[in-house]
Chains A and B, each alone.
Chain A
Amino acid sequence: MEAKPSTANLVDKIVVPGDVVLDLSSMTNQTIKLGGGLRQECDSVSVIKAGKLRFSKPNKYWVESSQKRYVPCVEDTVLGIVVDCKADNFFVDIRGPTIAFLPVLAFEGGTRRNIPKFEIGSLLYVRVVKANPGMNPELSCTDASGKAAEFGLLKDGYMFETSTGLSRMLLSSPTCPVLEELGKQLSFEIAVGLNGRVWVNAESPSTVVLVSNAIMNSESLSAVQQKIMVDKLLQRIK
């Protein structure tokens, strides 16, 4: 394939690794923010992960893709599983390349005297505080101002793993159709982590199973198809 003329725009098109999407020598006076999936090489910006190229005004470019593996980023809320407890940190698995650390004092009102005790295997809803390449990410159970804000241990319920693209869709606003339709008829509690983990809790196990199956099936469906699928599932339990 030949190089396209420089007025061609690859925004909102599917790109594969190696495609050059921006020519920086023609935009010398602007500040551009590059998100995930893009890399700067001297005067051009090229793609390193396959996906759809997105642009948001005024100056943000990123590649949207959905994987089973999570890349930790700062200020992401994720669901982690405790794998070990040490003196200073809990070791928490967040489905990334390395294990993350959760300091024992990173809780609201946490002091050395009231360190929470988590068993190995417990599920936590946490926020990523530091995510530098090459280092283990650091987590926290408080929000930026130090309040607990729903972070912490998730009891009971059922956790399943999906791709990162589906969890972004579940967290999008306005509410994604599958959750809206389910919410009209059933009552349940849900926590979605950007690392692809979803936790569902409800009074009866059949509701939990129904909600989980509906979410897992909705990955590749459009909005209308999602509504139809949820209607069919709900018909069956009536």
Chain B
Amino acid sequence: MEVDRADGRNPNQLRPLACSCSILHRAHGSASWSQGDTKVLAAVYGPKAGTKKNENPEKASIEVIWKPRTGQIGKPEKEYEIILKRTLQSICILTINPNTTTSVIIQVVHDDGALLPCAINAACAALVDAGIPMKHLAVAICCCSAESGYCILDPTKLEEQKMKGFAYLVFPNSILSVLPEGSSLVQGEPMEHGIITSVTHGAMSVDDYFHCLERGRAASAKLSDFLRRSLQSKLPGDLSKAE
């Protein structure tokens, strides 16, 4: 179905991605992620000793602080913090550093649609930069569905407002493996087909939602590649190490 998007992209096309790591001098890990005009800066501090009162001291805990570009912190920011915290808790290995707190601070630099996925990608890159042990990486994408049933990926703010409903989806990244194909399946499907988080706004039918899921999963492979490449360029090569 032909769809006219304001910036001329076709429905499955993502905006240009950019990621840079280790940009903040004092933070233990930091990353800035931008998709088109939406840009988010994430900083990670920790692990630091001690946990908060409600947290389980036998596991590491993750605390997320979301700072909007302007204005005071209100309920939407608190909701983003909770979603991010649950997502990051499921990808980090919490049993390695018990009774510690890792703080993730998200600063919104510019919001032009798909803000939460951009923040999740930035937080994941910052956690890798800080060396926090993780089971796998997470890639996030936003899909929206319109009245006529077609779905588009990575909307801008104007497109998001016009749509009937949209979903933020977070998938595990695609991994390199030395195992023969087919041996690392979980319940009959490779791990990349799993889903970590799904947040939906608006109304969409079940079929539309599954359609969005498929499109999102296909696009997550591209995001996964991009994340792997940007982490490779940041990691140091062989310096003057004697071999």
Point out residues on A near B: beta carbons under 8 Å. Answer: 1-6, 8-10, 14-23, 39, 44, 46, 48-52, 65-69, 71, 97-99, 133-134, 165, 169, 172-174, 176-177, 219-223, 226
CB of B155 within 8 Å of the partner chain = no
CB of B205 within 8 Å of the partner chain = no
A49 to B240, CA, bound (A): 22
Point out residues on B near A: beta carbons under 8 Å. Answer: 28-29, 46-49, 93, 96-100, 128, 130-131, 133-137, 172-184, 190, 221, 224-225, 227-228, 231-232, 235-236, 239-242
Which 6 pairs, one residue from A and one from B, show the smallest C-beta to C-beta distance?
A18-B136, A67-B131, A223-B240, A20-B177, A48-B133, A97-B47
A113 CB, nearest partner CB in chain B, Å:
33
A172 to B242, CA, bound (A): 7
Q: Decide if B173 touches A16 in the complex (CB within 8 Å).
A: yes
Q: Decide if A9 touches B135 in the complex (CB within 8 Å).
A: no
Q: Decide if B135 touches A21 in the complex (CB within 8 Å).
A: no
A223 to B31, CA, bound (A): 28
Chain B residues lying within 8 Å of A98, measured Cβ to Cβ, are 49, 99-100
Q: Decide if B28 touches A69 in the complex (CB within 8 Å).
A: yes
A-B contact pairs, 7 of them (CB 8 A): A23-B179, A44-B177, A46-B135, A52-B235, A69-B47, A98-B100, A169-B241
A134 to B174, CA, bound (A): 31
- Contacts A44-B177, A69-B130, A174-B242 aside, 11 further interface pairs with beta carbons under 8 A come to A3-B177, A16-B173, A17-B134, A44-B179, A44-B184, A50-B235, A66-B235, A66-B236, A176-B240, A221-B239, A223-B240
Q: Decide if B173 touches A222 in the complex (CB within 8 Å).
A: no
A146 to B96, CA, bound (A): 31
Q: Decide if B224 touches A1 in the complex (CB within 8 Å).
A: yes
A3 to B174, CA, bound (A): 9
Closest to A21 in B: B178
Q: Decide if B241 touches A19 in the complex (CB within 8 Å).
A: no
A38 to B49, CA, bound (A): 23
B169 CB, nearest partner CB in chain A, Å:
18
